[in-house]
Amino acid sequence: MLSLCVPFLTQAYTGVTIVLSAPTPANQEFLDNFKDELVRSRNTSLRLTVIDLQEVEKLVVAENSELVIALGVKALEAASKLRHTTPVLGIFTPLPTFNSFLQSSRRDLGNFSAIVLDQPYTRQMSLIKTILPDAKSIGIMLGPTSSQYGEHLKDDGEKNGLSVFEENIDQEADLITKLQKLLDTTDALMAIPDPSIYNRETAQPILFTSYRHLKPVFGYSQSYVRAGALAAVFSNSKQLAKQAVEIAIKSQQPPNLLPPPQSPTYFSVMVNYQVARSLNISVMDEDVLYKKILELEAVQYEQYRH
C-alpha cells in the first residue's frame, strides 16, 4: 500500500533546486524554459539553484526551505532519499517508477510528487480514435510495474469506444511473441511509458513487428514517432517547465503542499507521415488533430462534471 498521509508544511519554501540526471538537451531546455517562465510569472521570491547527481548527497536543505525538482529517473531516485520534510517534484519519470520510489522511500504525498511522463490514457485514445475512427480495439503491453493499470486502461478504453486487450510481459524473451498475438487481434498498439518494455533495445523490434502486421503504433514521445510510430501526444520540455512553475508558485501558498502526481497539462501532437503513407492511413494536419483532441477532452470533462 502506498502512504496517503499528507503532512502540513508549516512554511513556504523560498528557493528551487533543480537536480539534473545528466546534461541532456531535454534537461537543458527544461532549465532554460523554467527560468523564462519564472520571470514571466513575476515571482521574485524564489531563488534558483542547479546541481547534478553527485551533489545531491551533499545537499543540506533547511526544513521546508527548498523545493527540489528532479529531472529524470536517477535524479528522482536520489532526491527521494533527502529528508522527508523536503518537497520533491519529479519530471521525466513514468508513473510506475514514481510509485515505486514513493513506496520505497516511505515519503508522503504532499511533499513528494511528479509531473509524470505518462500522457492521460484518454488523451492517447482520443488521438487513436481521431486518426482511426473505425478502430474498435487496441493492444497494450504491460510490465511488472505497469500491470496495475490494466483495469484503468480498460475503463478508459470503454469511454472512448475501444476494447483494450493487454498482454503482460514478465520477461523480454516473451515480448515479440505476445506482441504478435496482440497485433493479430487488434487495430493498433498503444505504447505507455514502461522502461521494462519500451527502451532502446526493444524499440526497433516492436516497431518492425508492428509494421509487418500493417498495424500502427501510437507512442508517447517524439523520439518514438521519429523511430517509426504513427503518431503520439507528448509534452516537450517547455510545456513541462510551464506546468512545473505553476506548481512551484501555487504550492508556496497555504497549506504549502505539492499536488498529487499528475499527467502533463500542456501537450503537442506529432505524426510520422511517411509511416502513414506506408500503412495507407490518411492523417490530418497535426494542428487539426491537436484541436480535435482538445475538443474531445472538453466534452469528456463536462461529462465527468455531470
The tens place of each residue's pLDDT in the chain, 306 residues long, gives 333 444 444 467 888 999 999 999 999 999 999 999 999 988 767 889 999 998 987 776 655 578 999 999 999 999 999 988 889 999 999 999 999 999 999 998 899 999 999 999 999 999 999 999 999 999 999 998 899 999 999 999 999 999 999 999 998 899 999 999 999 999 999 999 998 999 999 999 999 999 999 999 999 999 999 999 999 999 999 999 999 999 999 998 888 899 999 999 999 999 999 999 999 999 999 999 999 999 998 887 677 665
- Say yes or no: 135 and 281 in one domain: yes
Phi, psi of 49 (to 5 degrees): -130, 145
Cα 36 to Cα 48: distance, rounded to the nearest angstrom: 12
- CA separation for the pair 61, 38 (Å, rounded): 21
Residue 260 maps to a domain: no
State how beta strands 231-234 and 268-271 pair: antiparallel
Distance CA 298, CA 284 (A): 20
Question: Are 102 and 197 found together in one domain?
Answer: no
C-beta of residue 109 within 8 angstroms of C-beta of residue 6 = yes
Give the contacts of 197 (CB within 8 A, at least 6 positions apart).
141, 142, 143, 146, 169, 175
Q: Assign residue 128 the CATH number of its domain.
A: 3.40.50.2300
Range of the domain at 229: 121-234+272-305
Q: What is this structure's pTM?
A: 0.89
Asked whether residue 28 falls in the same domain as residue 166, the answer is: no
Q: What is the pLDDT of residue 303?
A: 72
The count of structural domains within the chain is: 2
